[in-house]
Amino acid sequence: MRLLQRITGLEFLEEEFSSKAGNTPRNDIFIGYKVFDSKTTVQNRFTQGNALSCFCIDGKHDRVHVAFKVAKQDYNLITYVTILMKYKLKEEAGVHFREFEIQGTGEIERGSTRITDFAIMLPYWNKNRFIGQYTLIYSDWDVLRNDGLQGRPTKGPTPVSKMLFAEIMNNV
């Protein structure tokens, strides 16, 4: 029953958000990132397990960057917090989660071609408790994957959960 509910939910989301729906391009899908009010806001959201909008630079998927406002900053510069992925990982129903750690700050030019991917960091909550891990869903619907070489994080299509389907096959 859970599987049927998930499949129905995924089909609904695909219909709602797919650019192929009705063979017409969707104009209401946002591709970009949010600029948060301050570095403190970003840090608080990160430690409390709230979703964050982020981006990758130079195609590096082992870290993400979250933009925030700085008083009296040049309009053409974006200041960001760098958040590095750590090794501790978890898989839940095919969704891969990792522990992340705030590394520092940096700046990049607005509209830079070095910004290669946009993503949303979604927290892992279990029984109303934040576990301290996040997953990434990229703007092209690829996700964070933990099955790269030597356990390195990668970006790719949603993996099939072997544990989930093993449970189903054993009940047939």
The pLDDT > 90 percentage for the chain reads: 39
Mean pLDDT of 153-171: 68
Q: What is the DSSP string of 23-87?
A: G---S----S---BS-HHHHHHHHHHT--EEEEEETT--SEEEEEE--TT--TTEEEEEEEEEEE
Of the pLDDT bands very low, low, confident and very high (cuts 50, 70, 90), residue 67 is very high
| Residue 153 clears pLDDT 90, i.e. is over it | no
The pLDDT > 70 percentage for the chain reads: 70
Domain ranges for the chain: 30-170
What's the pLDDT score for residue 31? 66
d(CA 77, CA 70): 10
| Residue 164 clears pLDDT 80, i.e. is over it | no
Amino acid at residue number 26: R
What's the pLDDT score for residue 150? 61
What pLDDT, in 10s, does the model give residues 72-88? 888 889 999 999 988 77
d(CA 15, CA 45): 31
| Residue 26 clears pLDDT 90, i.e. is over it | no
What's the pLDDT score for residue 24? 55
